[in-house]
Amino acid sequence: MQYVQQILFALALGVAIYFFTKKVKQIRRNIFLGKDKKIDDNKSERWKTMARVALGQSKMVVRPIAGILHIIVYVGFVLINIEVLEILIDGLFGTHRVLAFLGPVYDAAIGFFEILALLVLVACVFFLTRRFISKIPRFHKPEMKGWATKDATYILIMEIVLMAALLKMNAADQLLQERGANHFVAAGSFPVSQYLTGFFESYSTSTLIVFERVFWWFHIIGILLFLNYVPYSKHLHIFLAFPNSWYSKLNSVGELPNMPEITNEVNMMLDPSKADPNMPPPEKFGVADVTDLSWKNLLDAYTCTECGRCTSVCPANLTGKKLSPRKVMMDTRDRAEELGKAKDANGDDHHDGKSLHDYISQEELLACTTCNACVEACPVNINPVDIIFGMRQYQTLEKSAMPSEWAMMNSNIENNQAPWQFSPTDRANWTKEI
Protein backbone atom coordinates (compact mmCIF):
# COMPACT_ATOMS: atom_id res chain seq x y z
CA MET A 1 0.00 0.00 0.00
CA GLN A 2 2.87 2.35 0.88
CA TYR A 3 4.43 1.84 -2.55
CA VAL A 4 1.11 2.64 -4.20
CA GLN A 5 0.98 5.96 -2.34
CA GLN A 6 4.54 6.76 -3.40
CA ILE A 7 3.75 5.99 -7.03
CA LEU A 8 0.57 8.09 -6.94
CA PHE A 9 2.43 10.94 -5.28
CA ALA A 10 5.23 10.83 -7.87
CA LEU A 11 2.65 10.86 -10.69
CA ALA A 12 0.75 13.80 -9.16
CA LEU A 13 3.99 15.73 -8.67
CA GLY A 14 5.16 14.98 -12.20
CA VAL A 15 1.86 16.04 -13.78
CA ALA A 16 1.80 19.27 -11.73
CA ILE A 17 5.37 20.17 -12.68
CA TYR A 18 4.69 19.38 -16.37
CA PHE A 19 1.65 21.64 -16.66
CA PHE A 20 3.25 24.40 -14.58
CA THR A 21 6.37 24.37 -16.76
CA LYS A 22 4.26 24.40 -19.93
CA LYS A 23 2.32 27.47 -18.80
CA VAL A 24 5.48 29.25 -17.65
CA LYS A 25 6.98 28.74 -21.12
CA GLN A 26 3.85 30.24 -22.69
CA ILE A 27 4.02 33.28 -20.42
CA ARG A 28 7.72 33.73 -21.18
CA ARG A 29 6.98 33.57 -24.90
CA ASN A 30 4.17 36.12 -24.53
CA ILE A 31 6.43 38.51 -22.61
CA PHE A 32 9.04 38.29 -25.34
CA LEU A 33 6.49 39.17 -27.98
CA GLY A 34 7.60 42.66 -27.00
CA LYS A 35 10.58 44.44 -28.47
CA ASP A 36 14.05 43.86 -27.09
CA LYS A 37 15.22 46.35 -24.50
CA LYS A 38 18.59 46.27 -22.79
CA ILE A 39 18.32 46.86 -19.04
CA ASP A 40 21.52 46.01 -17.21
CA ASP A 41 22.80 49.36 -15.90
CA ASN A 42 23.54 50.17 -12.25
CA LYS A 43 23.19 46.59 -11.03
CA SER A 44 23.93 47.39 -7.40
CA GLU A 45 21.02 49.85 -7.26
CA ARG A 46 18.78 47.32 -8.96
CA TRP A 47 19.56 44.68 -6.34
CA LYS A 48 18.79 47.23 -3.62
CA THR A 49 15.49 48.12 -5.31
CA MET A 50 14.47 44.47 -5.54
CA ALA A 51 15.39 43.85 -1.91
CA ARG A 52 13.45 46.92 -0.79
CA VAL A 53 10.35 46.61 -2.98
CA ALA A 54 9.86 42.88 -3.65
CA LEU A 55 11.48 41.30 -0.61
CA GLY A 56 10.98 44.07 1.94
CA GLN A 57 7.46 45.05 0.78
CA SER A 58 8.37 48.70 1.39
CA LYS A 59 5.61 50.16 -0.79
CA MET A 60 2.92 47.90 0.68
CA VAL A 61 3.14 49.39 4.18
CA VAL A 62 2.27 52.86 2.89
CA ARG A 63 -1.21 51.62 3.75
CA PRO A 64 -0.32 50.04 7.11
CA ILE A 65 -3.20 47.65 7.84
CA ALA A 66 -3.36 46.06 4.40
CA GLY A 67 0.43 46.18 4.15
CA ILE A 68 1.11 44.37 7.43
CA LEU A 69 -1.51 41.69 6.70
CA HIS A 70 -0.05 41.20 3.22
CA ILE A 71 3.41 40.75 4.74
CA ILE A 72 1.97 38.08 7.05
CA VAL A 73 0.50 36.20 4.09
CA TYR A 74 3.71 36.68 2.09
CA VAL A 75 6.01 35.48 4.88
CA GLY A 76 3.64 32.63 5.64
CA PHE A 77 3.60 31.54 2.01
CA VAL A 78 7.40 31.52 1.82
CA LEU A 79 8.21 29.90 5.16
CA ILE A 80 5.39 27.36 5.34
CA ASN A 81 6.61 26.03 2.00
CA ILE A 82 9.72 24.85 3.86
CA GLU A 83 7.42 22.29 5.47
CA VAL A 84 6.18 21.42 1.98
CA LEU A 85 9.75 20.36 1.20
CA GLU A 86 9.49 17.78 3.98
CA ILE A 87 6.11 16.63 2.63
CA LEU A 88 7.64 16.16 -0.83
CA ILE A 89 10.43 13.99 0.59
CA ASP A 90 7.98 11.98 2.67
CA GLY A 91 5.71 11.48 -0.32
CA LEU A 92 8.46 10.30 -2.65
CA PHE A 93 10.32 8.04 -0.20
CA GLY A 94 7.49 6.82 2.03
CA THR A 95 8.92 8.41 5.18
CA HIS A 96 7.10 10.43 7.83
CA ARG A 97 8.48 13.69 9.22
CA VAL A 98 11.86 12.93 7.75
CA LEU A 99 13.38 16.09 9.21
CA ALA A 100 12.47 15.15 12.79
CA PHE A 101 16.13 14.30 13.45
CA LEU A 102 16.73 18.04 13.83
CA GLY A 103 15.22 17.75 17.29
CA PRO A 104 14.50 21.05 19.08
CA VAL A 105 15.10 22.99 15.85
CA TYR A 106 12.41 20.94 14.14
CA ASP A 107 10.00 21.39 17.06
CA ALA A 108 10.50 25.15 17.02
CA ALA A 109 10.08 25.29 13.22
CA ILE A 110 6.80 23.32 13.24
CA GLY A 111 5.47 25.48 16.07
CA PHE A 112 6.41 28.64 14.19
CA PHE A 113 4.78 27.35 11.00
CA GLU A 114 1.56 26.65 12.88
CA ILE A 115 1.42 30.18 14.27
CA LEU A 116 2.09 31.52 10.76
CA ALA A 117 -0.64 29.30 9.33
CA LEU A 118 -3.13 30.71 11.84
CA LEU A 119 -2.06 34.28 11.06
CA VAL A 120 -2.38 33.65 7.30
CA LEU A 121 -5.86 32.21 7.86
CA VAL A 122 -6.93 35.25 9.88
CA ALA A 123 -5.41 37.66 7.32
CA CYS A 124 -7.25 35.96 4.45
CA VAL A 125 -10.56 36.18 6.34
CA PHE A 126 -9.86 39.87 6.91
CA PHE A 127 -9.13 40.41 3.20
CA LEU A 128 -12.42 38.74 2.28
CA THR A 129 -14.17 41.00 4.77
CA ARG A 130 -12.63 44.09 3.18
CA ARG A 131 -13.79 42.97 -0.26
CA PHE A 132 -17.32 41.87 0.45
CA ILE A 133 -18.41 43.53 3.72
CA SER A 134 -16.43 46.77 3.96
CA LYS A 135 -16.47 46.94 0.14
CA ILE A 136 -13.32 48.98 -0.39
CA PRO A 137 -14.13 51.09 -3.51
CA ARG A 138 -11.02 50.13 -5.52
CA PHE A 139 -12.09 46.48 -5.43
CA HIS A 140 -15.39 47.30 -7.11
CA LYS A 141 -14.36 49.35 -10.14
CA PRO A 142 -15.85 48.34 -13.54
CA GLU A 143 -12.75 46.39 -14.61
CA MET A 144 -13.06 44.18 -11.52
CA LYS A 145 -16.38 42.65 -12.54
CA GLY A 146 -16.43 38.99 -13.46
CA TRP A 147 -13.23 36.96 -13.42
CA ALA A 148 -11.05 39.56 -11.64
CA THR A 149 -13.17 39.44 -8.47
CA LYS A 150 -13.63 35.66 -8.67
CA ASP A 151 -9.87 35.19 -9.04
CA ALA A 152 -9.07 37.09 -5.83
CA THR A 153 -11.84 35.26 -3.99
CA TYR A 154 -10.70 31.82 -5.17
CA ILE A 155 -7.15 32.47 -4.02
CA LEU A 156 -8.19 33.67 -0.57
CA ILE A 157 -10.53 30.73 -0.04
CA MET A 158 -7.85 28.34 -1.31
CA GLU A 159 -5.32 29.68 1.19
CA ILE A 160 -7.83 29.40 4.06
CA VAL A 161 -8.62 25.80 3.12
CA LEU A 162 -4.93 24.87 2.78
CA MET A 163 -4.03 26.34 6.17
CA ALA A 164 -7.00 24.61 7.79
CA ALA A 165 -5.97 21.27 6.24
CA LEU A 166 -2.42 21.73 7.54
CA LEU A 167 -3.61 22.38 11.09
CA LYS A 168 -6.05 19.45 11.02
CA MET A 169 -3.31 17.16 9.68
CA ASN A 170 -1.06 18.18 12.56
CA ALA A 171 -3.88 17.67 15.10
CA ALA A 172 -4.48 14.10 13.90
CA ASP A 173 -0.71 13.49 13.76
CA GLN A 174 -0.31 14.69 17.35
CA LEU A 175 -2.91 12.24 18.64
CA LEU A 176 -1.31 9.38 16.70
CA GLN A 177 2.06 10.25 18.22
CA GLU A 178 0.54 10.19 21.71
CA ARG A 179 -1.02 6.78 21.03
CA GLY A 180 2.29 5.41 19.76
CA ALA A 181 0.90 4.50 16.36
CA ASN A 182 3.29 2.74 14.03
CA HIS A 183 5.22 5.04 11.67
CA PHE A 184 4.23 8.21 13.60
CA VAL A 185 7.40 9.33 15.40
CA ALA A 186 7.12 11.81 18.25
CA ALA A 187 8.25 15.05 16.68
CA GLY A 188 7.13 18.64 16.36
CA SER A 189 5.50 21.28 18.50
CA PHE A 190 1.82 22.07 17.93
CA PRO A 191 0.83 25.33 19.68
CA VAL A 192 -2.26 25.83 17.46
CA SER A 193 -3.42 22.39 16.34
CA GLN A 194 -3.33 21.07 19.92
CA TYR A 195 -6.64 22.89 20.40
CA LEU A 196 -8.15 20.92 17.51
CA THR A 197 -7.36 17.46 18.88
CA GLY A 198 -10.67 17.38 20.75
CA PHE A 199 -12.49 16.93 17.44
CA PHE A 200 -10.63 13.66 16.80
CA GLU A 201 -10.12 12.07 20.25
CA SER A 202 -13.21 9.86 20.01
CA TYR A 203 -12.01 8.14 16.86
CA SER A 204 -10.03 4.90 16.78
CA THR A 205 -6.38 4.86 15.83
CA SER A 206 -7.10 3.30 12.44
CA THR A 207 -9.68 6.01 11.67
CA LEU A 208 -7.25 8.70 12.82
CA ILE A 209 -4.65 7.36 10.39
CA VAL A 210 -7.21 7.71 7.59
CA PHE A 211 -7.98 11.29 8.70
CA GLU A 212 -4.28 12.19 8.83
CA ARG A 213 -3.68 10.73 5.36
CA VAL A 214 -6.72 12.49 3.91
CA PHE A 215 -5.60 15.87 5.29
CA TRP A 216 -2.03 15.17 4.17
CA TRP A 217 -3.12 14.38 0.61
CA PHE A 218 -5.59 17.27 0.60
CA HIS A 219 -2.86 19.70 1.65
CA ILE A 220 -0.25 18.59 -0.88
CA ILE A 221 -2.69 18.18 -3.79
CA GLY A 222 -4.09 21.60 -2.90
CA ILE A 223 -0.59 23.08 -3.09
CA LEU A 224 0.05 21.43 -6.47
CA LEU A 225 -3.27 22.77 -7.77
CA PHE A 226 -2.41 26.19 -6.35
CA LEU A 227 0.94 26.04 -8.13
CA ASN A 228 -0.82 25.51 -11.46
CA TYR A 229 -3.51 28.06 -10.76
CA VAL A 230 -1.08 30.89 -10.02
CA PRO A 231 0.12 31.37 -13.66
CA TYR A 232 -3.50 31.96 -14.70
CA SER A 233 -4.18 34.46 -11.94
CA LYS A 234 -3.10 37.85 -10.72
CA HIS A 235 -1.06 36.05 -8.07
CA LEU A 236 1.64 35.42 -10.65
CA HIS A 237 3.22 38.46 -9.00
CA ILE A 238 4.38 36.07 -6.26
CA PHE A 239 7.14 35.07 -8.68
CA LEU A 240 7.39 38.03 -11.08
CA ALA A 241 7.60 40.82 -8.48
CA PHE A 242 11.30 40.05 -8.03
CA PRO A 243 12.48 40.35 -11.65
CA ASN A 244 10.04 43.19 -12.32
CA SER A 245 11.38 45.31 -9.47
CA TRP A 246 14.97 44.48 -10.51
CA TYR A 247 14.29 45.75 -14.05
CA SER A 248 12.22 48.73 -12.91
CA LYS A 249 12.96 52.29 -13.99
CA LEU A 250 15.67 53.89 -11.85
CA ASN A 251 15.66 57.43 -13.19
CA SER A 252 12.92 59.96 -12.53
CA VAL A 253 9.49 58.47 -13.22
CA GLY A 254 8.46 61.83 -14.68
CA GLU A 255 11.03 61.52 -17.47
CA LEU A 256 9.16 60.57 -20.63
CA PRO A 257 11.11 58.76 -23.36
CA ASN A 258 11.92 60.38 -26.69
CA MET A 259 11.44 58.53 -29.95
CA PRO A 260 14.93 57.97 -31.44
CA GLU A 261 13.61 58.22 -35.01
CA ILE A 262 12.04 61.63 -34.42
CA THR A 263 15.04 62.84 -32.44
CA ASN A 264 17.25 61.84 -35.36
CA GLU A 265 15.06 63.70 -37.86
CA VAL A 266 15.17 66.84 -35.72
CA ASN A 267 18.94 66.55 -35.47
CA MET A 268 19.16 66.19 -39.25
CA MET A 269 17.49 69.61 -39.55
CA LEU A 270 19.10 71.43 -36.65
CA ASP A 271 22.48 69.78 -36.11
CA PRO A 272 23.43 67.22 -38.77
CA SER A 273 26.59 66.32 -36.86
CA LYS A 274 24.46 64.69 -34.15
CA ALA A 275 22.28 62.75 -36.57
CA ASP A 276 22.72 59.16 -37.66
CA PRO A 277 22.32 59.04 -41.47
CA ASN A 278 22.19 55.23 -41.37
CA MET A 279 19.20 55.00 -39.01
CA PRO A 280 16.45 53.12 -40.88
CA PRO A 281 13.02 54.72 -41.12
CA PRO A 282 10.57 53.41 -38.52
CA GLU A 283 7.91 50.88 -39.49
CA LYS A 284 5.46 52.85 -37.37
CA PHE A 285 5.43 55.53 -34.71
CA GLY A 286 4.23 54.60 -31.25
CA VAL A 287 2.44 51.50 -30.02
CA ALA A 288 -0.26 49.82 -32.09
CA ASP A 289 -0.12 46.39 -30.48
CA VAL A 290 1.69 44.50 -27.75
CA THR A 291 4.46 43.62 -30.23
CA ASP A 292 5.35 47.33 -30.31
CA LEU A 293 5.82 47.43 -26.56
CA SER A 294 9.06 46.38 -24.88
CA TRP A 295 9.32 43.05 -23.09
CA LYS A 296 9.54 45.05 -19.86
CA ASN A 297 6.11 46.58 -20.53
CA LEU A 298 4.68 43.08 -20.94
CA LEU A 299 6.49 41.88 -17.82
CA ASP A 300 4.75 44.77 -16.03
CA ALA A 301 1.39 43.53 -17.33
CA TYR A 302 1.95 39.97 -16.12
CA THR A 303 3.23 41.23 -12.75
CA CYS A 304 0.15 43.38 -12.09
CA THR A 305 -1.43 42.47 -8.75
CA GLU A 306 -4.77 44.11 -9.66
CA CYS A 307 -4.71 45.71 -6.21
CA GLY A 308 -6.03 48.98 -7.64
CA ARG A 309 -3.71 51.28 -5.72
CA CYS A 310 -2.78 52.91 -9.03
CA THR A 311 -6.40 53.59 -9.96
CA SER A 312 -7.26 54.83 -6.46
CA VAL A 313 -4.70 57.68 -6.79
CA CYS A 314 -5.21 58.46 -10.49
CA PRO A 315 -6.51 62.06 -10.74
CA ALA A 316 -8.25 61.29 -14.02
CA ASN A 317 -10.15 58.36 -12.50
CA LEU A 318 -10.95 60.32 -9.34
CA THR A 319 -12.55 63.08 -11.43
CA GLY A 320 -14.81 60.65 -13.26
CA LYS A 321 -12.73 60.00 -16.37
CA LYS A 322 -12.80 56.57 -17.95
CA LEU A 323 -9.08 55.95 -17.44
CA SER A 324 -8.01 53.25 -14.97
CA PRO A 325 -4.26 52.42 -14.95
CA ARG A 326 -5.12 48.98 -13.53
CA LYS A 327 -7.40 48.28 -16.50
CA VAL A 328 -4.61 49.32 -18.90
CA MET A 329 -2.32 46.66 -17.41
CA MET A 330 -5.08 44.03 -17.34
CA ASP A 331 -5.99 44.76 -20.97
CA THR A 332 -2.35 44.57 -22.04
CA ARG A 333 -1.98 41.17 -20.40
CA ASP A 334 -5.24 39.94 -21.95
CA ARG A 335 -4.12 41.08 -25.40
CA ALA A 336 -0.73 39.36 -25.00
CA GLU A 337 -2.52 36.16 -23.98
CA GLU A 338 -4.89 36.39 -26.96
CA LEU A 339 -2.10 37.00 -29.47
CA GLY A 340 0.00 34.21 -27.94
CA LYS A 341 -2.87 31.71 -28.32
CA ALA A 342 -3.39 32.83 -31.92
CA LYS A 343 0.29 32.21 -32.68
CA ASP A 344 0.12 28.81 -30.99
CA ALA A 345 -2.77 27.85 -33.24
CA ASN A 346 -1.55 29.37 -36.51
CA GLY A 347 2.24 29.79 -36.30
CA ASP A 348 4.61 32.50 -35.09
CA ASP A 349 4.09 34.66 -38.19
CA HIS A 350 0.33 34.84 -37.67
CA HIS A 351 -1.40 38.06 -36.67
CA ASP A 352 -5.10 38.05 -35.83
CA GLY A 353 -5.78 41.52 -37.23
CA LYS A 354 -6.55 43.01 -33.83
CA SER A 355 -4.57 45.56 -31.84
CA LEU A 356 -4.17 46.81 -28.30
CA HIS A 357 -6.34 49.77 -29.28
CA ASP A 358 -9.30 47.35 -29.52
CA TYR A 359 -8.92 46.90 -25.77
CA ILE A 360 -7.97 50.42 -24.63
CA SER A 361 -10.04 53.29 -26.01
CA GLN A 362 -8.83 56.68 -27.13
CA GLU A 363 -10.91 58.25 -24.37
CA GLU A 364 -8.86 56.39 -21.78
CA LEU A 365 -5.57 57.35 -23.42
CA LEU A 366 -6.41 61.04 -23.68
CA ALA A 367 -7.48 61.22 -20.03
CA CYS A 368 -3.96 60.48 -18.76
CA THR A 369 -2.08 63.53 -17.44
CA THR A 370 1.24 61.61 -17.23
CA CYS A 371 1.48 62.67 -13.58
CA ASN A 372 2.91 59.22 -12.68
CA ALA A 373 0.87 58.94 -9.49
CA CYS A 374 0.06 55.38 -10.56
CA VAL A 375 3.76 54.52 -10.88
CA GLU A 376 4.52 55.91 -7.43
CA ALA A 377 1.64 53.97 -5.87
CA CYS A 378 2.35 50.58 -7.44
CA PRO A 379 3.73 48.13 -4.84
CA VAL A 380 5.78 46.25 -7.48
CA ASN A 381 7.06 49.21 -9.57
CA ILE A 382 4.80 48.79 -12.61
CA ASN A 383 4.72 51.68 -15.12
CA PRO A 384 1.35 52.03 -16.91
CA VAL A 385 2.32 55.50 -18.22
CA ASP A 386 4.86 54.00 -20.65
CA ILE A 387 2.11 51.99 -22.33
CA ILE A 388 -0.39 54.86 -22.35
CA PHE A 389 2.19 57.30 -23.73
CA GLY A 390 3.27 54.92 -26.49
CA MET A 391 -0.31 54.25 -27.55
CA ARG A 392 -1.08 57.95 -27.54
CA GLN A 393 1.94 58.56 -29.77
CA TYR A 394 0.53 56.05 -32.25
CA GLN A 395 -2.89 57.72 -32.23
CA THR A 396 -1.34 61.15 -32.77
CA LEU A 397 1.47 60.41 -35.24
CA GLU A 398 -0.03 57.57 -37.25
CA LYS A 399 -3.77 58.23 -37.12
CA SER A 400 -3.80 61.99 -36.49
CA ALA A 401 -6.45 61.14 -33.92
CA MET A 402 -6.34 63.94 -31.38
CA PRO A 403 -8.65 66.62 -29.99
CA SER A 404 -8.90 69.76 -32.10
CA GLU A 405 -7.24 71.75 -29.32
CA TRP A 406 -4.22 69.45 -29.48
CA ALA A 407 -4.06 69.74 -33.26
CA MET A 408 -4.12 73.53 -33.06
CA MET A 409 -1.44 73.54 -30.35
CA ASN A 410 0.82 71.23 -32.38
CA SER A 411 0.33 73.37 -35.49
CA ASN A 412 1.22 76.51 -33.54
CA ILE A 413 4.34 74.90 -32.10
CA GLU A 414 5.38 73.84 -35.59
CA ASN A 415 4.75 77.22 -37.21
CA ASN A 416 5.14 79.70 -34.37
CA GLN A 417 7.51 77.84 -32.01
CA ALA A 418 4.93 78.31 -29.26
CA PRO A 419 1.49 76.92 -28.37
CA TRP A 420 -0.17 80.28 -29.02
CA GLN A 421 -1.44 81.58 -32.38
CA PHE A 422 0.92 84.50 -32.60
CA SER A 423 3.82 85.06 -34.91
CA PRO A 424 7.17 85.04 -33.08
CA THR A 425 7.74 88.59 -34.24
CA ASP A 426 4.54 89.75 -32.54
CA ARG A 427 5.13 88.19 -29.15
CA ALA A 428 6.45 91.31 -27.52
CA ASN A 429 3.75 93.63 -28.90
CA TRP A 430 1.89 93.55 -25.58
CA THR A 431 4.75 95.43 -23.95
CA LYS A 432 4.07 98.42 -26.18
CA GLU A 433 0.51 98.65 -24.90
CA ILE A 434 1.61 99.23 -21.32
Report the 3 state secondary structure along 338-369. Answer: HHHHHHHHHCCCCCCCCCHHHCCCHHHHHHCC
pLDDT in tens, 187-207: 888 899 999 988 888 888 889
Asked if residue 293 has pLDDT above 60, the reply is yes
Helix axes 295-303, 325-346, angle to 10 degrees: 110
**Domain 260-404, CATH number (from 1.10.357, 1.20.120, 3.30.1490, 1.10.1060):** 1.10.1060
pLDDT top residue among 418 and 207: 207
What phi-psi label fits residue 180: left (phi over 0), alpha (psi between -120 and 50 degrees) or beta?
left
CATH number 1.25.40 is the correct assignment for the domain at 2-31+63-246 = no
Q: How far apart are CA 94 and CA 82, in angstroms?
A: 18
pTM of the model: 0.88
Which pLDDT value is given to residue 400? 83
Rg of the chain over Cα atoms, rounded to whole angstroms, equals 28
Residue range 353-361: average pLDDT? Answer: 92
Give the dihedral of Cα atoms 63, 68, 70, 75; nearest 10 deg.
150
Contact 29, 298 (CB under 8 A): no
Q: Where are the domains of the chain?
A: 2-31+63-246, 260-404
Asked if residue 74 has pLDDT above 70, the reply is yes
Bridge partners of residue 35, in order along the sequence:
294
